[in-house]
Structure formats: structure tokens, C-alpha cells
Amino acid sequence: MKLLRYGPAGAEKPGILDNDGQIRDLSAHVSDIGPEQLSPEGLARLRAVDVAGLPVVIDPRLGACVAGVGKIVCIGLNYRKHAEETGSKIPEEPIVFLKATTSLNGPDDPIIVPYGSVKTDWEIELGVVIGQRATLIEEASALDYVAGYCTTNDVSERHFQSHRGGQWTKGKSADSFGPIGPWLVTSDEVPDPQQLDLWCDVNGERLQSSSTADMIFDVRFVVSYLSQFMTLMPGDVIMTGTPSGVGAGFKPQRFLKAGDHLRCGVTGLGEQSHAVIDFRR
């Protein structure tokens, strides 16, 4: 299933993408696409719905594909070439940081260059959405706790990240810096999360092009690893790292500015399209 949320910001309704690519309204069956609906029982109920009998929704705004996200957990430097382009050592364990949930954004909403920013950057990533409470789980069973996957972009302000006290979270958490979607693709439709292509275009130029096969730490390991340090809850989103081709990796470096346009996607998980605009008080 491809589950989504549509409508005005703050008033989104649940939806599903049918086999013809049409958005159908799920409001008669569930109140939203959130932790309750992402459990194995919740997904089973949704699979029993007659999608062809649901109302069609024409050209709506899409919101973040998951509601009620408790935390966004991110993995840094998880692609070998990305670590190399930043001049960093290959990590021996996953680098973990958090991204504020107030950064969540729709897949076609503007990305806002924040106040004081000089180095706003792009980072296409595979998003993993948790469907069951996970604490101290084994790597072998880790994917059983995943409800599905989505396209994400870990938008970053590099100066805030690296030169404002060394706290990555403050460079990752500005409003609009966490677009997820357009939809959540349930895990049964993604047999191998390590065989997905990722790409990102800036103003029509392809700057990131890679595969999740190049991850240093794969999804199974990351989910199990995180569960050793924190309880993962239904609705939590894991951003699993970005490949090479970010603005900070170019010489000279390249960063987003108002008027730019960003397109990015992951095979089978859908595309995002963002106008870049300036912060206004």
C-alpha cells in the first residue's frame, strides 16, 4: 500500500494511492495515518478496505505522509563516498542525531532558507517508518518492526551544524527541513531496502545519484542498533543517511538560495519537488 495525507497544512486527511495512481480518501475508515494505523493490526485493517470504492481526490496538496511522529532519528555519514567527500573518517558505528519534529514538511512544500543561514544544503535519504515498539531487538528480526519506507530529505544548514557549537541537531531542525513523502510505502512492497536508487536534482542538474546498496550500515543493522539506545515507537521516522553529491562536498561548495528548485526521489517511493524561498520574520 501507498498511504498518504492530503489537504491544507494542519488539517490533512488520510488517503491511499490506488493502482492507477489516483488518490483515494480514507477518511471513512481511519482518522489519520499515524502510529495506530501503522501497527500490524492497523495495516491489516487498511488492506481489507475496498480501495476502488473510495472517493477520488483531485490534485490535493500532500502533507508529511505520517502523523504523530514522536521522533526523527538520523544517521550521519552512512554512505562511504559521502564520508569521503566531507573529509571524514569512515564511522566504526552509526553516527546518530535527532531532528526536531517541527521540521516536518510536505513533499511539494517550499524549503525555507532560515534566518542567518549561509549554507543550506540538500540530502536525499531513504526514510524508515517504525510500526511496532522496538527495544533491544535483534538484527535478524529488525525489519519486522518496520511499517514502511518513504522518500525523505535531511535538509541541513552546514554552518549551524558545524560552526555553532558542534551540535548537529541545530543545523538540521529548521522549519521545513524535514520533508517526508509523498507517501509511505508499506514494507511488503519493498522486499529489499538495500536495492533502491536515490537521486537529487538542483535546478535541473543531477547532483546526487546512488543506491542504498552503498550504505555502510544497512537498514536492518540501523534499526537494531538504535533500539539498543532508545525505544523506537510506531510512527518514528529514521533518516538513514545521504549519498555523495551534497553541496558541502563540492569545491567550491554550493548551497541553496531563494529561487532555486529541488527535486529528489527514491525508486518506488515517489518524488519530492520544492521551491526554495527565504525566511521572512
Map out the domains of the chain with their CATH numbers: 2-57 (no CATH), 72-278 (3.90.850.10)
Name which of 21-35, 46-60, 105-119, 161-175 the model is least confident about: 161-175
Reading the block at residue 169, the C-alpha cell is 541537531
Give the number of C-alpha atoms closer than 13 A to the C-alpha of residue 264, restricted to the C-beta side.
33
> Ramachandran region of residue 85, left (φ > 0), alpha (ψ -120 to 50) or beta?
alpha
pTM of the shown model: 0.96
Containing H/E element for 35? Answer: helix 35-38
- The span from the CA of 90 to the CA of 95, in Å, is 10
Mean pLDDT of the 49-78 span: 97
Averaged pLDDT, 256-275: 98
Residue carrying the nine cell digits 470504492: 53
Q: Which residues contact 21 (CB under 8 A, 6 or more apart)?
A: none
pLDDT band of residue 70 (cuts 50, 70, 90) is very high
- In contact, 234 and 147? CB cutoff 8 Å: yes
| Angle, CA 68 vertex, CA 127 and CA 30 arms, to 5° | 100
Three-class SS of residue 43? helix
Query: Which ranges constitute the DSSP H helices of 164-244?
Result: 219-226
Q: What is the pLDDT of residue 164?
A: 81
Length of the chain: 281
Beta-bridged to residue 149, according to DSSP, are 128, 185
The pLDDT of residue 36:
97
159 φ, ψ to 5°? -65, -45
Query: Which cell goes with 104?
Result: 516536518
State the pLDDT at residue 45.
Answer: 97
pLDDT of residue 281: 54
At residue 87 the predicted structure's pLDDT band, cuts being 50, 70 and 90, is confident
